[in-house]
Structures are given as structure tokens and as C-alpha cells.
Structure 1
Amino acid sequence: MISSEPISIGHVLHQETNQVVLEVVIPGPQFAFLEIDGTFLPLYLEPRRDLQLYMGSTDPTSIRFEGPSAIANGYLAKAHAIRQRAEQSAGRHYTQLSLTEFTTHLNAVRGQYERLDQTVLAKTNLADSLKEVLSARNQVSLIFIQQNYVLAHYGEKLSQVPDPLKAVVQPPLFNSRFVRFKMSEYADIAHIYVSYILRSLLSSPKMISDSTALAVDRFIQNSPYSLAEKDYLRAKNCYNWLTITGIIPATDQLITQYKASFPNSFYLSTLAQLYQKWSALASGQPAPDFYGVTPRGDTLALSSLKGKVVYVDVWATWCMPCRAEFPQANQLQQQFSSTPGVVFLYVSIDQNQVAWKKLLQDDTHLTGIHINQASVEQAGSLWKPYLLISIPRYILIDQKGRIVQANADRPSSGKVAAAIQELML
């Protein structure tokens, strides 16, 4: 629940024409999603209880459920249909609406959820505790919609959020059942709160640094949250920063402080798993090989550059923060233009190779070695081995093909030249 990564909990046990049997092993009641051809359908599952789905299409309102949890799943399907419709208002995404339009739209969606509770949930014989969680899930979805709207319109000026949306910059409502039932929607709003809202409130968007992680942690510690809330939010902060930065002194300090406060936390195992993944990318570890296609159509691998210091820049033509670094990257290359033992490797993840090649021709700052990986899932991709979640991303590798920094400083930091020079000594 502190991770936003999807976890597979079932596999196909038996398959025939028009019939698939899935076996799912879970420790207790929980929410999950069934993926069919890229469409995700929410489910409520209970241990040792069968659930049958009869589908004419992936439209959630057309699905018929049978089994002990059929009523809960029928309700979920209707709530999911409301949530899908909430994405648009009069042909526009809700983030494109004016504040007045958005408020009207939000109230309309809230009204649909309330009518669903009155006409369906209130008339069922479900346990009150389950009714509460099902209804709360809708409220969490409303918070998610508001968070996205606030970030789209006031992302760098959260202090200017208008009164109708002020509650969004406050801590999200917490219920231990959200965690126990593995409500991914709650994980989403907690992620936005810790990763974007708190971070923006505690630092300038242009000055976010490693110290911001510790500032967020101190803020949570000193706030009047319950112990359960502090446990969850601090764990979420640790996980988010470890995901972004990898193992650095700031994340080590963050995790050490968290462990001291919650030595028996439920979330420690998830943190340990991510920490172990990043340990494989620690300084001195062999750099996982990857390869891509050059503008001429040849294949080039990282391993072919062994014997040289390699500064890797992962980017795309549509990534404006990536492109904003190119002038500084070019200046950096000029510093080492007479040093044959240093190469600058640009790895584009553009699916549109025509756009990639055109930019290489048009942008005079884009010197260096260039390869393209059109899919993060393709063979030889660096996305998973290097635990990428976003771009730009920079990696520094030494002459022996070992990692120096798996999450290196960007060209504009002013720190890269010194790091490269140190490797040349």
C-alpha cells in the first residue's frame, strides 16, 4: 500500500472457449483489479469464496456477478462507471474546466455517488463495515479528482488554492481498513499528498533537493496525525524518495529515522524489497547492459563503450525538462571534447523515431552518441534494470563498466564535470 506498483495476485488455472478460471490467493478481504485487454475492472475479493463474472463486454454496467460477494461487486461496477464518466464534462477533461465549472461538475459526480448509496448500498444486507469502506472508496475518488485539478491549476502556487478546494492540501482522510483492504485509490491520493502537495508546500519547485525529503518527514512527525497516520505517511515518503533517488545519504537517513520510530511497521518489508533492488545499482556494482538503435539503424550497446567514462542521458523529444538541459549538456561535452576517454550517450525513449531523428538534425546542442529504445518493454531496454520511473534520468558509469551514480546529477547542476574528472585521475 505504500507502493503504487501493480502486484499480480492471481493466475489462469483453466481456460476454455468463453470461460477462464482464475486462482487467487489472498490473506483477507481486499480490493483488486481485473485487467482484460487493457481495461481494468474493480473487484472485491474474499478468501475461499468463489466469484463468477458473466461478461458481454468490458462495460462495467453490463457485467453480472454471482457468488457471496456478488452484491458488493455489482455496487463496485456501478461506482466505477460513475468514476469513468467523471473524467469528462461537456467534452472536456475535468482539469480543463474553470473553477465554477469544476465545482458544478464535482457536485454532480458527488450526487451520483450519493444516489448510488441510497438506491443500492442502503438496501443491501452487507456488513456495515463493508458498506462503510465501499462508500468511502467513492469519497477517496472525489479527493483524487480534486487533487489533480489543484495540481493542474495551482501546482506551483498551492498557497493560492481557493477556499472550495482548501481541504485538498490537507492530509487525506485515513482509515486502517483502506490499508487492510488494499484500496489502491487511497494509495494514489496519499502518493499525491506526500509526493507533490507536501513537497511543494515545503520547498520552492525549482529548489527541490534531497533535504526536502527530510523536511517532509519532519513535517509529518510534528503534525497532529495519529500514530497510524504517521506510520503510513512517513513510510510513503520513504518509499517515494527511494523510488526517485535510489540509495543516497538522505534516503538512508530517512529510512533509519523511520525504522527507529516504527521498528515493527507493516510497511518495512515493502521498503526492504525496494532497497534491495536499488542495492544492485549501488556505486561499484556492474552496470546492467542495454542497447538501442542508432540514427543509421545500427545496434549499439552500453558494453561496447567499456573502457570509457559514460554519462548517460535518458530523454524524449516530448520531454521539455529533458530538452531544457541540452544547452548545459553541450557545454559539458565541450569541456571534455579533447578527452577521448569520456563519452556522452543519449538514450531516447521516443516511439516516434521520425520526430527523434528530426530533432537530432535540428538541435545543434545534441552532439554525442545517440540510440533509441522505442519501447520500455523491448529487449535490451534500460527502463526496468535501472528502475526508471520518469525522465530525464542521468547515469554515470566508469571505465570498468561499473556504476558510479545510478541517479546522477543533471548537466545544469554544475556537479557533473567534477564527478567525471575524478574518474579520470
Structure 2
Amino acid sequence: MRNMKKLITIIFLTLLLNPAQAKETIIKGIMKSFSGDKAILIDVSDKAGMRVPKNFNIELNSNSEFVLKIDLQEPEYFKLGPNTIFLKPGDRLLVKIDCNNRKNSTFNGNSSEECNYLKTIPEFSQVDIGYLGKNYEFVKRDLSEFTNSIMLPQVNSSMEALERLKSVPDIFKEREAARIKSNVVMSIMLYTAGYSRKFVENFDVVTDRELFAKLRGEHIDFFKDMLMEYGKDLAKEGNIVLPEFRKIVVWVTDPSGSLLPAYKKIDRIEDYNLVSQLIQKYASCFTSYPSDKKPDDVLAELNEAKSSISTQLYKDLIDDSINEYSIIKKGSPAFDFTGYDINNKPVKLSQFKGKFIYLDFWATWCGPCIKEYPFFMELYNKFRERDDILFISISTDQDKDKWVQYLMKHKHENISLHVSNSYLSQYKIAFIPRFILIGKDFTFIDPFAPRPSQPQTEELLKNLK
């Protein structure tokens, strides 16, 4: 068996020597410490920023091994497990992804040098912020200590590692230099947020607004030269594919030049800002909350935007977004996904087919979600004698540990699962809390169901037959 695996690997690698045969990108490998039978190659480009990502499902065998074939038109970044990877059209890449520690993952073949470099970049998520670390763990009282002991050593190390890369395309080096600069700017612009939460006792974003403004002014003044240095030449259209750049685009596109170098309009960045805002506005028409926005009105704005922008990709994404929302309607098949319980046991939503399913999508950081949960439990208790109705809470926290810690302190009697938001893209979860009601035949009864606190919800559940 081992010899057969070696033979397959050798055959796979020989394809690297014949680019003429390599018209599609092929990734072969294994997901170590992964639970479940399906993984996702997650698009992190500007398409994802507009909530219309081009993700690829990965079917795993019983040993968590896979072969994935995809068509790419240009080099792109993705997430595979905890790793950011870089792929080019025609690549043949062998991977061993360690889902517990991205630095232990291995890559061989095309783009392996790029992927190995990407193991060293800072994590990026809602809780991992540039050089500030996870939940602001590296924020210091002394700004000089943070700058000289935390941030600049990492910046210099990354720049030197980037220069040592021998066989990577110039575009990769350009993007990664921009990522480093973006992380510096992000760390500085969000420093006061972390500092306030970490060092100001009982900090409150509303009542301590003046204190926050004072601290922010002091912090910006300290970092102003670095902002100008690392913000130089950052406003380039190709950088929009980087999530770190998109995080700071609001500051990059300031024409005043008060914080970063003065911005001069760039079509693709302007188009991105316009279309992403309109797609977000369109998404707000489809929530579990009453909306004063009418989908047809926003559609008119989107169509007007299509005629005014020059970026063809974004014109296509407008159509894709509208089509995806049109699929989520009453009577349409629900989308299956795999969640994980507090013991990390995989649970498929489809295994509950044959019952009515009332889903609550929430997160530990979401105040309105927490306020809705007592009403959710009240309904759960009222209908607990009906074994044909299930109440399932789905945490979308990026930091799974936060969810586990929350459940340890707050008992959830109903089924509680954690699902990465990337696995929920088909559900278009743009805002939480979000509630969905699924029928026994696993079709949507209401993909934008009312909240538990609304009187009509109990009546809706009572009438389920």
C-alpha cells in the first residue's frame, strides 16, 4: 500500500515537468486532524469581500485524503484549513495540511515556495488583527515596546524572507509586500481599540467615547511617521485581492492625506467600494429583522452601478449575488452543512431530515443574538414535547474556543453546533442573529424566519403539521 502511494506521488510530480499537459490546477493531499468528510478551498479575494466567493468543495476519503481539480484564470489566494495558499493556473501541488498548526503543514510542487512563505504571515480573522495578535494579545501600554519588540521585528523578518524567495513570480512579491504594509497600517489604526479594552478598566464604547478619542489622538501622533512610510504606494488596484488591504481601504482612500498618503482615485478600488456597499445593502433586505429597504429599489441601484463601473468582474458579481439570493426562497431545497458539537463531533444538518428545524445563527460577540436566546429557549421549552420540531443553535464565531468557553459558562439545553462561516456562504448569512425554518422534506419553509421574540413565531411553529 505504501509503495502504491509513493508511485502515485511520483506520477503526480512528473506532471510538473510537462506544463503543456497542465491546463487545470490540481491539488492532492491530506487534511490532518480534520473531522468530517468535506473540506472547502475558501476564496479570500475581493469576490469574498463582496460576499460572492468562488469556493470549491473538497470531498475527503476515509483517510481525509483528496484530489481537487479546478480551473483558474489567474493566480489567486485561498484558505485551506488554517493555511493561506497561493495557486496559479496549471499548478500541481502536493499538500499535507495540519489543521491544528498551520506551520506544520507541508507543500511540494508548483507554488510550494509561495505556500511555505505564507505559513509565516500573521493570521487574519475577526479576532486576529495584524501584529496585534489574537484578541489584542500583543498590545502593550508602552507603544515603543510594541513597535520595537513586537511589530518591527516581524515586519523586517517577513521582508527579508520575501527577498530570499527565488522562484516566485514578481506579482507574488508585490502582493506580499503590500500585505506587510497593510498589516502595519491595520495594527496602528486599530491599536486604540485593543488598548482600551485591555488597559481601560470597564471600558465602554459609548460612555468612554471622549477618552477613546483622546487616546486615539495620542496613538496616531506617535505612529504618524510610520503610517506615511508604510502607506506609501499602497493604493494599487491589485491589492484589493488582499483581505488585509480591504480591512484598511477606508483609510487608504482618504484624499486628505491626513493619516496616509493622499489618495488619488483608482477605478477598481472605487468600483469595489461602490459595489460592495450596494451588495451589503441588498443583503440587508433579507434578514430576520424588519427592513425599510425594498429589494427592487436596491436592485435598481445595482443595475445603475453596473452601467457606471468599469470592472467587468464586479458587474458579473452583481448578477451572481442577485441570482444567489433568488435561490433562497420558500420551497427551495435547504443547503446541507457539517457543524461540530462541543466535543468536536461532526454533525450534518441533513441527518435531521424528517423533522422541522428552527435554526438560530448567532455569535458570542453579538449582543442582539444574546438578547434573543432567552426567547429561543422559551420556545424550545414550549415545544419540547413535540419530537418533530428541533431547535438548533449555530455559532458562527471565527474563534471556536470563544464559543466553547461560552457554552461552559452558559448551558444550552438545545442542540448547539459551531460552523465556520465559509461553510454557510449559500445561506447568505450577512447579518446575525438570523433564523431559518426548514421543513420535514428539508426545504425552506422560511429562509428569513421571524425572531423568537416576535409573537408570530410561536404561532408559526404551532401550525407546523
Query: What TM-score do you get using the length of structure 2 for normalisation?
Result: 0.51
Q: Which residue of 2 aligns with 1:3?
A: 48
Matches within 5 A, 1:12-411: 23-33=69-79, 35=80, 38-43=81-86, 45-48=87-90, 60=103, 73=113, 77-78=116-117, 80-83=119-122, 93=134, 95-98=136-139, 100-101=141-142, 104-107=145-148, 108-118=150-160, 120-121=162-163, 130-146=172-188, 149=191, 151-152=193-194, 153=196, 156=205, 160=213, 162-163=216-217, 164-165=219-220, 173-179=234-240, 182-187=241-246, 225-243=265-283, 245-246=285-286, 249-250=293-294, 252-263=296-307, 265=311, 266-282=313-329, 285=331, 288=334, 313-314=360-361, 321-325=368-372, 346-349=391-394, 359=411, 371-372=414-415, 374=417, 376=419, 386-388=427-429, 391-395=432-436, 406-408=447-449, 410=451
Q: Which residue identity is paired with 1:322?
A: C
Q: Aligned in 2, Cα 1:395/1:358: closer, same or farther, shift over 3 Å?
A: same
Q: Aligned in 2, Cα 1:238/1:104: closer, same or farther, shift over 3 Å?
A: farther
Q: Aligned in 2, Cα 1:124/1:315: closer, same or farther, shift over 3 Å?
A: closer
Q: Which residue identity is paired with 2:76?
A: Q
Aligned partners of 2:129 and 2:136 also within 8 Å: no
Deviation at 1:390, TM superposition (A): 6.4
Q: Which residue identity is paired with 2:48?
A: S
Q: Which residue identity is paired with 1:42?
A: I
Deviation at 1:237, TM superposition (A): 1.9
Deviation at 1:277, TM superposition (A): 2.6
**2-side partners of 1:133 and 1:289: how far apart?**
35
Q: Deviations over 1:172-219 (max 9, x none)?
A: 95422224xx434435555xx69xxx9xxxxxxxxxxxxxxxxxxxxx
Q: Which residue identity is paired with 1:178?
A: N
Aligned partners of 2:393 and 2:416 also within 8 Å: yes
Q: Which residue identity is paired with 1:83?
A: P
Q: Which residue of 1 aligns with 2:20?
A: none
**2-side partners of 1:115 and 1:375: how far apart?**
35
Query: What TM-score do you get using the length of structure 1 for normalisation?
Result: 0.54
**2-side partners of 1:360 and 1:383: how far apart?**
22
Q: Aligned in 2, Cα 1:396/1:241: closer, same or farther, shift over 3 Å?
A: farther
For structure 1, the residue ranges without an aligned partner over 5 or more in a row are 199-222, 293-298, 338-342, 362-370
**2-side partners of 1:318 and 1:127: how far apart?**
40
Q: Aligned in 2, Cα 1:388/1:54: closer, same or farther, shift over 3 Å?
A: closer
Deviation at 1:330, TM superposition (A): 8.9
Aligned partners of 1:290 and 1:301 also within 8 Å: no
| Aligned Cα root-mean-square deviation (Å) | 6.2
Deviation at 1:156, TM superposition (A): 4.2
Deviation at 1:32, TM superposition (A): 3.6
- Three-state SS of the structure 2 residue aligned to 1:374 is strand
Q: Which residue identity is paired with 2:320?
A: Q
Q: Aligned in 2, Cα 1:314/1:360: closer, same or farther, shift over 3 Å?
A: same
Q: Deviations over 1:151-183 (max 9, x none)?
A: 554894687261335989x9x95422224xx43
Q: Which residue of 2 aligns with 1:215?
A: none
Q: Aligned in 2, Cα 1:375/1:304: closer, same or farther, shift over 3 Å?
A: same
**2-side partners of 1:254 and 1:142: how far apart?**
36
**2-side partners of 1:49 and 1:407: how far apart?**
41
**1-side partners of 2:176 and 2:351: how far apart?**
52
**2-side partners of 1:40 and 1:404: how far apart?**
37
Aligned partners of 2:76 and 2:88 also within 8 Å: yes
Q: Deviations over 1:72-113 (max 9, x none)?
A: x35x63464252599699x98461455534664355433432
**1-side partners of 2:456 and 2:66: how far apart?**
58
Deviation at 1:48, TM superposition (A): 3.8
Aligned partners of 1:231 and 1:262 also within 8 Å: no
Q: Deviations over 1:381-423 (max 9, x none)?
A: x96774446642234799xx997863355466xxx44798999
- Three-state SS of the structure 2 residue aligned to 1:81 is coil
Deviation at 1:29, TM superposition (A): 2.7
Q: Aligned in 2, Cα 1:396/1:245: closer, same or farther, shift over 3 Å?
A: farther
Aligned partners of 1:144 and 1:188 also within 8 Å: yes
Aligned partners of 1:285 and 1:402 also within 8 Å: yes
Deviation at 1:7, TM superposition (A): 4.0
Q: Aligned in 2, Cα 1:302/1:229: closer, same or farther, shift over 3 Å?
A: same
The alignment covers a number of residue pairs equal to: 344
**2-side partners of 1:88 and 1:226: how far apart?**
26
**2-side partners of 1:348 and 1:10: how far apart?**
24
Deviation at 1:302, TM superposition (A): 8.8
- Three-state SS of the structure 2 residue aligned to 1:348 is strand
Q: Percent identity?
A: 17
Aligned partners of 1:2 and 1:235 also within 8 Å: no
Aligned partners of 1:397 and 1:403 also within 8 Å: yes
**2-side partners of 1:329 and 1:54: how far apart?**
41
Q: Aligned in 2, Cα 1:396/1:111: closer, same or farther, shift over 3 Å?
A: same
Q: Deviations over 1:123-152 (max 9, x none)?
A: 868776553323112222334445665555
